[in-house]
Structure 1
Amino acid sequence: MKHNYIYWLAPIIILTWSACGNKQPQAGPPPATPVNVTEAKKAESVYYDSYQGIVVALNNVELRSQVPGFITGIFFKEGEVVQKGKALYEIDRRKYLAAYQQAQANVLSAKANLVKAQKDIDRYNMLLKNDAIARQTVDQALAAFETSKGQVAVAVAALESARTDLSYATITAPFTGRIGISQVRLGSQVSSGTTLLNTISTENPIGIDVVINEQDIERFYKLQSSTNDTTFKLKLSNGSMYDKPGKIVAIDRGVNNQTGSIKVRVQFTNDKDVLRDGMSGVLQVLNNQSGDRILIPYKSVTEQMGEFFVFTAKDTIALQKKVVLGPRIQDKVIVMDGLEVGDKVITEGFQRLRDSGKITLGPPPGQAAPEMKKGAGK
């Protein structure tokens, strides 16, 4: 019985000795993470809000004939700038010239009848004084005189109508502008008010139309009186910046109740014909929060669930801070809220950090300091 107890306890003693002999020391706290930092500083920050827009002519007219007929003359080169009053198209004038000449003749005839009626009245009045004519005859002469006056008025009105139709047979430029490609050719038949002949538009100055949110209306009304040449800039579709400043010339009368937006037109000088009607561009509007702002490297910012954070160094501790960002300016970004001037922002090594984690200043593992790199190249 005694031997059985010895056999039973022996394995337990051996296992206990093995466990005590193989016991490992507990791991200590994780080592401090090497990081690089930069100081948050204020700097002059000028930035712009961008609005997609379309270049529009400030004056644009579709040319249509006001009388029917056939095109008998085209007096311009397509795509050229035409001066106000220049003859552009001619519609067969023969019918309208004949009608005008006939109207002139009708006026002369009506005036002759009026003169005759006036002379009849004068003669009949003299006879009436001597009782040599009936009163009824004098009254008839007076009525004929009034009728002749009416006929003269009708003839004069018809003459003006004929003169107008004759003038419509020659279509002239309503203002100085660039004319497009003709939609009709010599011999084409045109209808009154329906056939599009061409389009003419002004080019200098020219505008760009943008659509803004109704919350920005008050801001743009204030900008309408701005005299700052840097308030409005235009970025062309090829990425280059237009070299002339702009100014607001019109804000639409009302807000679109379906989209909650309103149209704004900004005018630019276009003396070099760089801008053309229908071009696209980006209107850049000076942000009213431009000024002295905190700038930090953009690479120091992390995003989590649509929110932005940075790590700052406090002695040997890394603190995570939520920040509100403004526009990005090259490799830096404006911080609107969340940082103070002088905060030590961690720019490298923060990928392995947690809030309140231990840090030490220096390059992250596997990255040599700038001085070491410089020495290695010698």
Structure 2
Amino acid sequence: MNKRYVYLIGPVALLAWVSCKQPAKQNAALPPTAVNVVAAEKASAIYYDQYPGTVIALNSVELRSQVAGYLTGIFFKEGDVVEKGKPLYEIDRRKYQSAYLQAQANLSSAEASLVRSQKDADRYNQLLKQDAVAKQLVDNAVATLASSKSQVESARAGVVSAKTDLDYSLIRAPFTGRIGISQVKLGAQISTGTTLLNTISSEDPIAVDFVVDEKDISRFSSMEGKTVGKADSTFMLALSDGTLYQQPGKILVVDRGVDNQSGTIKVRIQFPNPKKQLITGMSCVLKVLNQQSGVQVLVPYKAITEQMGEFFVFVSQDTIAKQHKVQVGPRVGNKIVILSGVKEGDKIVTEGLNRLRDGGKIQIGAPAQQTQGQQK
């Protein structure tokens, strides 16, 4: 039995050895890979970092009443631009008008009492000089005069308070802006400070808010207050339909602090809005000129291969393809910026990449065998 197993092991081992050697011979006999190459070139590469943004109003106010009552008047058309000071809503003013008139009457009464008290005090003081009246009566007159003066001040404060409530019953536009859809109708009961009447927001100028990574704070802080836009193309604002906004803007403010959860900070850019193209709440994309824009090495985008998050190209060195690790920048059309790993003039393989290995033999153009086959 043992001898029979020994006899079987020999042929099996020989077969395995032959099978292992055969691929190596086949690999050695493989023809060069047909490739196409393009020289890396230096060219002007202008590209932008893109940040999603939101249009916001620089002034926006929710209108709420500071007095209670029933709504008796609406004096605007929804969606219109209203001027500062224009009456918008009216709360039933009758009781506030009555309270104001009552306060004025109280003030008149208090002032009349003050005049009488002043005369009494003057008369008693004159009699005291003649020793014709008791000192106690003089003191009482002086105290009554002081009380009358306090009553006048209190009555004046009452008039101011009543006048304020009367004024608050007519709600006016706090600034020039566009007013929205009314949230209440005529006859609605309005509660002090809680019932939302409407919202008004300014339109020109207007702003765009976006967030940037904290490492870019110094980049945007250095541009704060400077006018940027169409003139120098530092900023370009792309609207939701893809069109570019034609007005220049300026960085209004970089927020006071970084969000510790996202590691970002808010930046606000102000734009003129004469044609009212920018509407509060709309989405847009802010394009900011990349600081590395300029003359860079460019290669065809299709020459890039990615492995485990790293990027490579094959460089032709005579009949050998060498794999180079590269640091890539943004894509510019059908090319891509190479920040490092390739220099100008290097011959970059653009075709046949799926069959190439580092150090593999290459042939620029179609293989000879294929060419002969085509001639036949």
Same fold (TM over 0.5): yes
TM-score, L = length of structure 2: 0.86
Q: Deviations over 1:84-143 (max 9, x none)?
A: 111100101111011111111111111111111111122222222322222221211111
One-letter identity of the residue aligned with 1:330: G
- Equivalent residue number for residue 351 of structure 1: 354
Contact 2:227-2:249 at 8 Å conserved across structures = no
TM-score, L = length of structure 1: 0.85
Q: How does 1:74-113 map to 2 (within 5 A)?
A: 74-113=74-113
One-letter identity of the residue aligned with 1:75: F
Q: How does 1:2-151 map to 2 (within 5 A)?
A: 29-151=29-151
One-letter identity of the residue aligned with 2:345: G
Of 174-183 and 44-53, deviating more is: 44-53
- Measured after TM superposition, the shift of residue 146 of structure 1 is 0.7
1:316 aligns with 2:319: yes
**Aligned mate of 2:330, from 320, 327, 332:** 327
| C-alpha separation in 1, matches of 2:280 and 2:125 | 72
Contact 1:349-1:364 at 8 Å conserved across structures = no
| C-alpha separation in 2, matches of 1:366 and 1:67 | 94
Contact 2:228-2:249 at 8 Å conserved across structures = no
One-letter identity of the residue aligned with 1:202: S
C-alpha spacing 1:49/1:132, structure 2 compared with 1 (3 Å) = same
- Equivalent residue number for residue 290 of structure 2: 287
Of 30-39 and 69-78, deviating more is: 30-39
| C-alpha separation in 2, matches of 1:209 and 1:366 | 62
Contact 1:233-1:244 at 8 Å conserved across structures = no
- Equivalent residue number for residue 10 of structure 1: none
| C-alpha separation in 1, matches of 2:99 and 2:273 | 45
Count of aligned positions? 344
C-alpha spacing 1:142/1:365, structure 2 compared with 1 (3 Å) = farther
Contact 2:213-2:264 at 8 Å conserved across structures = yes
- Measured after TM superposition, the shift of residue 26 of structure 1 is 8.7
Of 347-356 and 177-186, deviating more is: 347-356
| C-alpha separation in 2, matches of 1:330 and 1:54 | 27
**Aligned mate of 1:231, from 212, 234, 241:** 234
Of 251-260 and 100-109, deviating more is: 251-260
Contact 2:227-2:251 at 8 Å conserved across structures = no
Bigger Cα Rg = 1
- Equivalent residue number for residue 157 of structure 1: 157
1:296 aligns with 2:299: yes
One-letter identity of the residue aligned with 1:159: V
- Equivalent residue number for residue 341 of structure 1: 344
One-letter identity of the residue aligned with 1:255: V
Instruction: Find the residue that maps to 1:223 and give its secondary structure.
Output: coil
- Measured after TM superposition, the shift of residue 175 of structure 1 is 0.7
- Measured after TM superposition, the shift of residue 50 of structure 1 is 1.6
- Equivalent residue number for residue 262 of structure 2: 259
| C-alpha separation in 2, matches of 1:94 and 1:324 | 76
Contact 1:224-1:248 at 8 Å conserved across structures = yes
- Equivalent residue number for residue 251 of structure 2: 248
What stretches of structure 1 of length at least 5 have no aligned partner?
1-24, 369-378
Contact 2:62-2:196 at 8 Å conserved across structures = yes
Give the % identical residues: 60
